[in-house]
Amino acid sequence: MEHPDPAVFLTQEFWDERYGDQPVWSGDPNTQLVHYVADLPPGTALDVGSGEGGDALWLAARGWTVTGADISDIALRRSAEVAERMGVAARVTWQQADLLTWAPPVATFDLVTAFFVHLPGPHREALLRRLAAAVRPGGTLLYVTHHPYDLEVEGLRPHMPEMFATGEQMAESLDPTVWTITTAAPIRPGTDKDGTPVTLHDAVLHAVRRTP
């Protein structure tokens, strides 16, 4: 696959066009969100790169007070409409944010999540540090991306190695004296661009901020 310019994927224009006039995603929560969060007591949550709101709305339906942040106004409007239909609008705030520069409030959230927010290495590291700073003591940071393994499947992902990292590489942005860190590379079924079944790999960084 051709090596595109990563900068194209970092603009509001790209994502507004991507979301267009029709829903793109299923609306279901991400598998790893359910795995790691289902048993946590509800609190305050920040979902970064919230897209059409599937994860944020799942959290809100389970009693969390959620902020969903995304660069696309179209995605945020669509999310807000679904929240109204679900009856959870009072528990969700929608924030338009450029993740290259936006910093959430420090030490505010019991849970901070980001799913499939792919940025070039230095930008990813800077975002991880800002998101980590937003987690309260005892809170959880969950950052999940497509694993570099997926680049080995022809045509599955854009050939931009700089946009992919393992959980272990992402964990290097955190201070291990401050965080209890686990990483994983779980697999799940999926399809390639032609609809052929393939095995997908996630890169998971799960970290809990230690209490003083």
3 state SS for 17-71: HHHCCCCCCCCCCCHHHHHHHCCCCCCEEEEECCCCCHHHHHHHHCCCEEEEEEC
Q: Find the range with the poorest average confidence among 6-10, 109-113, 163-167.
A: 6-10
Q: Has residue 83 been placed in a domain?
A: yes
What is the identity of the amino acid at 126?
Answer: A
In this structure, what token pair is assigned to residue 46? 């920040």
What pLDDT is recorded for position 1? 44
Q: pLDDT tens digits, residue range 51-104?
A: 999 999 999 999 999 999 999 999 999 999 999 999 999 999 999 999 999 999
Q: Has residue 40 been placed in a domain?
A: no
More confident residue, 200 or 142: 142
Q: Which helix (H) or strand (E) holds 13?
A: helix 12-19
Q: Find the range with the poorest average confidence among 46-55, 61-70, 156-165, 167-176.
A: 156-165
- Asked if 139 and 111 touch (Cβ cutoff 8 Å), the reply is yes
Please provide the distance, in angstroms rounded to a whole number, between the alpha carbons at the two ends of the chain. Answer: 48
Confidence of residue 24 (pLDDT cuts 50, 70, 90): confident
Q: What CATH number has the domain bearing residue 84? A: 3.40.50.150
Q: Has residue 176 been placed in a domain?
A: yes
Q: Has residue 8 been placed in a domain?
A: no
Q: Has residue 118 been placed in a domain?
A: yes
What pLDDT is recorded for position 151? 81
Give the integer Cα–Cα distance in Å for 82 and 139. 27
What pLDDT is recorded for position 5? 59
Q: Which residues contact 125 (CB under 8 A, 6 or more apart)?
A: 172, 173
What pLDDT is recorded for position 155? 65
More confident residue, 189 or 87: 87
Give the integer Cα–Cα distance in Å for 100 and 121. 12
Q: Find the range with the poorest average confidence among 6-10, 114-118, 208-212.
A: 6-10
User: What value does the mean pLDDT take over residues 153-181?
Assistant: 89
Number of domains in the chain: 1
Give the integer Cα–Cα distance in Å for 150 and 147. 6
Q: What is the pTM of this model?
A: 0.91
117 SS3 class? coil
User: Which structural domain, as residue segments, surrounds residue 171?
Assistant: 45-209
Q: Has residue 179 been placed in a domain?
A: yes
Give the integer Cα–Cα distance in Å for 140 and 170. 15
Q: Has residue 86 been placed in a domain?
A: yes
Q: Which DSSP symbol is given to 205?
A: E
β 179-184/92-96 pair status:
unpaired
With 0-12 / 13-18 / 19 or more C-beta atoms within 10 angstroms meaning exposed / middle / buried, residue 163 is buried
E-strand spans in 71-134?
92-96, 109-115
Q: Find the range with the poorest average confidence among 77-81, 108-112, 151-155.
A: 151-155
User: What value does the mean pLDDT take over residues 153-174?
Assistant: 86
When the pLDDT of each residue in the chain is averaged and rounded to a whole number, the result is 91
42 has a pLDDT exceeding 80: yes
- Residues above pLDDT 90, as percent of the chain: 73
Q: Has residue 39 been placed in a domain?
A: no
Q: Which helix (H) or strand (E) holds 170?
A: helix 167-171
